[in-house]
Chain A
């Protein structure tokens, strides 16, 4: 277990959350519309390193979303279908992911000094606390 706590920002509308979960991590951007299945929570992008993986109830760590402006509805549909991730952690992030998380009320953290896709490994147990637009992450172990 690492004692290091990394502090970043969070969406103000996310409210307060304290979550422990398993991380699913990629360094590659995520295309929400078309390549994340809102009915199953599965990533279905053939050449993506997370192809076939499920994001449901995970701490989902990726650099940013790309692709269609309709992407946010994928996040809303994931929540509606109870297939959403517990928390989304982004490095750069993007408009669609911010809007989707804001409306779908998926807690979202961003703006860390370090690159979360570097420090968090696939399968790590991660603790995330979000409050008043501030977030902290702590890696509890593999």
Chain B
């Protein structure tokens, strides 16, 4: 692999052992993917923050970088941690977990990473331009960066993204090259895809259909016949697809790289029917009563918060039920200044920031199963080595109906 003089110096350790470690990793990756060189990247979004997912290995690894005086060299935001930094007790998280989590966050702070702690950095100003080369981890954010912005990032992992953030470089392969962004499967959508969870289900159906195809960079669907989605609906679609190894998609007349659609090399097709959508909803429907609903995977934006506030208006939580909404600090501040936060809190909704429904540890004495509006959350909450709790999916309106009842105001 060709290295510039400056990169050779980094590899030789002239800027410290931290950036040398980072360069070694990038070269391993570059050789593996047969990249001919590294390219500069303008921003990083870093995953691997929660103590639940990273464990003590994460603490050790960050500690090693800090010991070697590594610092990030480009604008870098951070994925959700395992808890709300202020309100973790409301998540029933104990001090032992919190202590480990604070240590991880301190380390990231020492590395020079902004402690934004959200999977939706684009909702608070980490925006990208079409064609911009970046290094993002967090599979749903990667898919959003490629598909919504038309920016170029591979699905960096938690270590490669840290290496990219430190050196400002990433191997030039995969989605950085136009040829690997061209659609290879076509998805015609006959079913009515109308809201957030419909898009999440569409991602599940599509991802599953092509999951075993040997595409080098995953299935790259071009969706036809769907109405113009809102950004958060594209986020939901991408989050589901990403669980199946698809990190870029195109929608006819919507996404920014329309010029790639006529170049499509379609190797398989799928028609998503109303029956398929119905069956998928049935597959994920709760068989019986659940006492908690969690929404905000990926983290809810202001529009989703406002929608939820509308749904719970005039209702009260049923006895023994909880409703949690996960967002980031910026959206929460806006929800607060515009009055929606109070409306939600007044009816008992708990709003958490800095974390998400998947990377937090649930108190299993309280919660035996979980209800959510996101298929991605379903995949990961139910994963045995994470929380391993049976998880079910319904639209946010149905989640609200399951947890709330009408408040009966008696006349004097």
Residues of B with C-beta under 8 A to A71: 157-158
Q: A37-B385, A98-B28 are in contact. Are A77 and B56 (CB under 8 A)?
A: yes
Least CB distance from A44 to B in Å reads 4
Complex Cα gap A12–B48 (Å): 24
For residue B216, CB closer than 8 A to chain A, the reply is yes
From A16-24, A53-61, A62-70, A117-125, give the one contacting chain B: A62-70
For residue B14, CB closer than 8 A to chain A, the reply is no
For residue B24, CB closer than 8 A to chain A, the reply is yes
The bracket for how many chain A residues form the interface is 35 or more
Complex Cα gap A57–B214 (Å): 29
For residue B139, CB closer than 8 A to chain A, the reply is yes
Least CB distance from A141 to B in Å reads 30
Q: Is the CB of A102 within 8 A of B28?
A: yes
Complex: chain B residue closest to A98, CB-CB = B32
Q: Is the CB of A36 within 8 A of B158?
A: no
A-B contact count (CB 8 A): 126
Q: A73-B55, A80-B57, A103-B61 are in contact. Are A33 and B32 (CB under 8 A)?
A: no
Q: Is the CB of B384 within 8 A of A73?
A: no
Binary contact track A99-112/B, C-beta < 8 Å → 1, others 0: 11011100000110
Complex Cα gap A9–B29 (Å): 12
Selected contact of A33 from candidates B25, B53, B155, CB within 8 Å: B53
Q: Which of A1-43 contact B (CB under 8 A)?
A: 9, 11-13, 31, 33-38
> What are 16 A-B interface contacts by the 8 Å CB criterion?
A12-B27, A12-B28, A13-B25, A67-B243, A68-B139, A70-B50, A70-B158, A72-B158, A73-B48, A77-B55, A77-B57, A80-B56, A80-B60, A92-B216, A95-B33, A102-B28
A69-B161, A73-B158 known, 19 other contacts, Cβ within 8 Å:
A11-B28, A13-B27, A34-B383, A38-B55, A46-B384, A66-B244, A69-B158, A70-B50, A70-B53, A70-B158, A71-B157, A71-B158, A80-B56, A93-B32, A95-B154, A99-B158, A99-B159, A100-B159, A102-B28
Q: Which residues of A contact B (CB under 8 A)?
A: 9, 11-13, 31, 33-38, 44-46, 66-74, 76-77, 79-80, 92-93, 95-96, 98-100, 102-104, 110-111, 133
